[in-house]
Amino acid sequence: MATDEEKGLDVQQVLPQKEQLITSSNETSIAQQTPAIKPRGVLAKLRVIEARLDTRLGIESDAIVRKRPEDKKDVSWTDELAMALLWASGTMNTSCFATGFLGWEFGLSLNQTILITIFASILGGVVTGYCATFGPAMGLRQMSVSRYSFGWWPNKMIAFLNCIQQIGWAAVSCITGGLALTAVSDGHVSLILGIVILAAIALLISFIGLNAILVYERYAWITFFVIFLIIFGETGKSADKSTPPSATGATQSGVILNLIAIVYGSSAAWCTTASDYYAHYRADVSRVKVFSMTAFGIAIPTSISMLAGCVAASALNNQPTWRNTYNNEGLGYLIQEMLYPRGFAKILLTVLVLSGINTNVISIYSASLSFQQLARPLALIPRFIWTLVSFACILALAVGGREQLNTYLQNFLSLLGYWCTSYGVILFEEHFIFRRGRFENYDLEAWNDPARLPLGVGAAVAFGLGVVSWCIGMNQTWFRAPLAKVIGSDGGDVANELTFLVTALGYLPARYLELKFVGR
């Protein structure tokens, strides 16, 4: 007898019969998309709990199920504006502020760092903006969208990588926010406790689901935008605009490439989650609008917070006291030292601590969706349970990596960009070359049916070639690749550039052969 996996059953809408009476009309219409099976034992009880939470508290329960055109509602211009504001809240935070210090630590001048930050942020935002356009047109979350390129089984690997990525992003955010909370409390709140507080608040918002996230993120960015403007004003007068870069020639080229990889990775990393927040928009919404709102909704606020870090870092050359505070006590105490008067600084730092919640909210929500797409049995487990699992993983990673913040940022953010480059290239070529740029050429009813989706051989081959490219071009503290070694004394990271080229060239013949011999 065929298993549920082989039948392609949609287990996401499975509820015991008695609980069907309290599900929303939206859930009922979605449940009719594919056959359903009935879970038993603990899973059945969990689904009963999920349905009750959805009915009484609005806890989202339809999760990864495709949003059909009839399930979507008209949205106002303010709802469309949320496409940009969502990312503004998620990127304008202490993590990006900390990343802004890397140019100074690499020995680059302030002017160089500013140009690199803006350019790389836009480049990464473009990748995410393109991926976001699939959400409204297909009504699917990002990991479901990529099934049409990666197929059923290879896409599970992509979903797993996305789980790791989102949890890692949230951990970085918890660490930087925890450092600020420790500083504002004059050491009375430990870093570990600060991490727990930030993760717990984000858990509460993500637990409710998309509606709560969109409402929170629509307004959260305003406060942090004002704070970063104040940081610009307080530190700009001490910024070092005259000191030349410490590195020259090939070595300077290498560190520039390293910084581009890090900043690009921080913006491109959102491409594996973008459609998660757009699946509820109508299919006829302008793709240009979706692309622009997302690309610049990421690039501009990311640049604002990172540039604040660039300016503050350069000021350390002219302010020995600030530099000593940063080296000995950390980022949180430095922010408190730079802002004046001290009482006002404490207030701002207290508010700034909350910026870490913005990133965590998005990361926890998207990670929970990716967990559900690792295997059908895992999709039986309600989304709110995966939210709790994501929360636990974030705590473990943040507490374990709290002592080496900058090293953690450099290594982690660079690695994010590598695989996101491959992901974006494969989706781009699949859509414009093999689907001829038309969503009519996608069998949207097949989104959850392995027998009707591509095998993913072409994507797996291209992605594998991309991995080889990472290993040839990356420049990390723990591994300097052969090609990276030849660029200056410190090496230069060319993994993204090499990955883009190799993936683009590799996917075309591999996908063509897949279509020729497999037919889907």
In tens, the pLDDT along 49-93 reads: 777 767 666 667 667 889 998 888 787 887 888 899 999 988 998
Instruction: Tell me how far apart the alpha carbons of residues 71 and 73 are, in angstroms, rounded to a whole number.
Output: 7
Note the pLDDT of residue 20.
43
How many other CB atoms are found less than 10 A from the CB of residue 84? Answer: 20
Instruction: Tell me how far apart the alpha carbons of residues 18 and 44 are, in angstroms, rounded to a whole number.
Output: 11
pLDDT beyond 50 at 237: yes
pTM beyond cutoff 0.85: yes
The mean pLDDT of 404-428, rounded to a whole number, is: 79
Note the pLDDT of residue 410.
58
In tens, the pLDDT along 117-136 reads: 999 999 999 999 999 999 99
Note the pLDDT of residue 425.
97
Cβ-based burial of 157 (10 A; exposed 0-12, middle 13-18, buried ≥19): middle
Note the pLDDT of residue 5.
41
The residues pairing with 475 across neighbouring beta strands, listed in sequence order, are: 480
In the 3-class helix/strand/coil scheme, how is 211-277 assigned residue by residue? HHHHHHHHHHHHHHHHHHHHHHHHHHCCCCCCCCCCCCHHHHHHHHHHHHHHHHHHHHHHHHCHHHH
Q: Which band of pLDDT confidence, cut at 50, 70 and 90, is reported for residue 286?
A: very high
In tens, the pLDDT along 266-285 reads: 999 999 999 999 999 999 99
172 phi and psi, to 5 degrees? -60, -45
pLDDT mean across residues, the chain: 86
Instruction: Tell me how far apart the alpha carbons of residues 48 and 59 are, in angstroms, rounded to a whole number.
Output: 13
Q: Which residues of 419-452 are buried (b: 16+ CB within 10 A; e: fewer)?
A: bbbbbbbbbbbbbeebeeeeeeebebebbbbbee
- Chain-centroid distance, C-alpha 236: 30
The mean pLDDT of 504-512, rounded to a whole number, is: 97
